[in-house]
Structure 1
Amino acid sequence: MSKGLFITGTDTDIGKTYVTALIVKTMRQAGYNAGYYKAAISGAPTVAASDAGFVNKFADIHEPEDMILSYLYQHAVSPHLAAKLEGHPLEKEVILQAWKRVTEAYPYVTMEGSGGIVCPIRHDEKAHYYLTDIIGWLHLPVLVVADAGLGTINHVVTTCEYIKNRHIPIKGIILNNWQGGVMEEDNVKMIEEITGVKVIALVKKGDTILHCDPKVLEGCYAEV
């Protein structure tokens, strides 16, 4: 039985892909046979030049492109709009089959979301899919990535409330771009107090490994 974990962010461009790569690399270096998967990426010319390509290389997975990503869109817009513009909407069965394939290959699979948690993936006359739908299909718990700086309390709390209201378990929070100091230390305290969710790691620019006990990371994954 494989275990999975879904990585989401409080917004786009907050370092979700970088942190995801650190998670997978840390797991692999600790002896866990960990893989990676992403359903859809928009705004990249090739898989190799995309978020998925970065994780594939950084974490030393080196899987074929169709193993790590199902949908690549050229337009740098939300996947649902890119799919409309390019005439290639995401299909539920494609995601389910891709997930089956990667979970058969790896006992631990980290799935990265697209943008923030309220990201529409498909929105047309035939279907309306959001990231939370994919999380539900695959029965995944969530780990939230956020920036460590000013404004993050509101972003993390609202993201966590949205996830909790959909009865999706949150396993932890990771703060990126950590510099330390009174404000950022207080951000950790307030985030944990308001959400009831533990900040499990702090990531500085240039980190090549996640400073988190691999056993704590392993505990974030759930059977799928």
Structure 2
Amino acid sequence: MIAPPLMSHAPLPGLFITGTGTGVGKTVVTCLLADQARRRGRSRARVFKPFATGCRAEGDRLISDDAVSLAAAAGLDGGPGDLDLVNPVRYRDPVAPAVAADAEARPVDWSALRRALAALGSAGDWFLVEGVGGVLTPIEDRRGRLITALDVADWLGLPVVVVCRAGLGTLSETAAACEAIRHAGLRIAGLVVNGFEPGSPDPAMRTNRRWLSRQTGARVLATLPGRSTLTGVDPLPGGPAFDPRAIPETLRRAIDECDFETLSRSGEPSSAAR
């Protein structure tokens, strides 16, 4: 049994946001959840992206544009100190963290993650932890055993929100992600379907929401319209950070289909009898 490197404290209150793959919209969803928490004013939303790859160089620092957006969504100024807390482990190459760590000969700094968590959190806070890549993205090779994104969710004690695509191909990849999550013994809080196109002639687009619940047994918590990468929400490298003032009301209405903080604290099961 590998000792969990992150768990020197009780399980965190909050959610772990993962996806069926890279670019599916995890950062968009995490930003929207932070915005929802701020609007409802019950708890301080603490955003945390433990690992980021594909970072850009800025002087002698690596910067994750996803982390810049998350910091803005949580009301932080996005300075170096804030970004080190929001995203303590960063790599240059756009590959899985385990691959990047090996290529750069720079192992994952678990102590930096623990320090960031301790500095971020206090009683009453609500954590939104964004994973990297998909559910089984390798984080580290520990003595021949691959640590994945799901191990991180497990160590933090968080239920999992799965962000998935709306169109053709999503049924199989979302079902596979949910099976992996359940196999790891984690609770699925539900699904967020991203990139739905109302009025699309695509039969998969019209039917997938119902079939996602039917195949995975997980509740669809929200359905977001439009493309999974949204200007000003999930920026291109060097582009504008997320601006809460610029969130389209259509997105706020869509994410407000569910009260995510109440869901995460309730322990509500994610699946009904099949």
Structure 2 counterpart of 1:204, from 225, 240, 248:
225
Please give the secondary structure, in 1, of the residue aligned with 2:50.
Answer: strand
Q: Is this contact kept in 2: 1:78–1:121, CA < 8 A?
A: yes
Amino acid paired to 2:170: T
Check 1:94–1:48 CA distance in 2 against 1; reply closer, same or farther (3 A cut).
closer
- CA RMSD, 1 decimal: 2.4
- Structure (1 or 2) with the larger CA radius of gyration: 2
Amino acid paired to 2:221: I
Structure 1 counterpart of 2:117, from 89, 99, 122:
99
Q: How far, CA to CA, are the matches of 1:140 and 1:222 in structure 2?
A: 10
Please give the secondary structure, in 2, of the residue aligned with 1:158.
Answer: helix
Aligned to 1:217: 260
Amino acid paired to 1:85: A
Structure 2 counterpart of 1:140, from 138, 158, 181:
158
Of 130-139 and 89-98, more deviation after overlay is shown by 89-98
Aligned to 2:237: none
Please give the secondary structure, in 1, of the residue aligned with 2:174.
Answer: helix
Please give the secondary structure, in 2, of the residue aligned with 1:88.
Answer: coil
Extract structure 1 runs of 4+ deviating beyond 6 A: none
Q: How far, CA to CA, are the matches of 2:96 and 2:147 in structure 1?
A: 12
Please give the secondary structure, in 2, of the residue aligned with 1:115.
Answer: coil
Paired residues, number: 223
Q: Is this contact kept in 1: 2:36–2:256, CA < 8 A?
A: no
Q: Is this contact kept in 1: 2:45–2:74, CA < 8 A?
A: no
Amino acid paired to 1:197: A
Q: Is 1:65 paired with 2:65?
A: no
> What's the CA shift string for 1:42-96, capped at 9, x where partnerless?
1111565421112212453335111101111011111101111222211444333
Structure 2 counterpart of 1:53, from 58, 68, 71:
68
Check 1:100–1:126 CA distance in 2 against 1; reply closer, same or farther (3 A cut).
farther
What TM-score, normalized to structure 1? 0.89
What TM-score, normalized to structure 2? 0.73
Amino acid paired to 2:75: D
Q: Structure 1 regions of 5+ residues with no counterpart?
A: none
CA displacement at 1:129 relative to structure 2: 1.8
Please give the secondary structure, in 2, of the residue aligned with 1:221.
Answer: helix
CA displacement at 1:219 relative to structure 2: 2.5
Q: How far, CA to CA, are the matches of 1:124 and 1:194 in structure 2?
A: 34
CA displacement at 1:148 relative to structure 2: 0.7
Q: Is this contact kept in 1: 2:33–2:255, CA < 8 A?
A: no
Aligned to 2:208: 187
Q: Is this contact kept in 2: 1:118–1:130, CA < 8 A?
A: yes
Q: Is 1:149 paired with 2:182?
A: no
Please give the secondary structure, in 1, of the residue aligned with 2:108.
Answer: coil
Aligned to 2:47: 36
Q: Structure 2 regions of 5+ residues with no counterpart?
A: 1-9, 231-246, 267-274
Q: How far, CA to CA, are the matches of 1:128 and 1:108 in structure 2?
A: 29
Q: Is this contact kept in 1: 2:190–2:219, CA < 8 A?
A: yes
Check 1:62–1:220 CA distance in 2 against 1; reply closer, same or farther (3 A cut).
farther
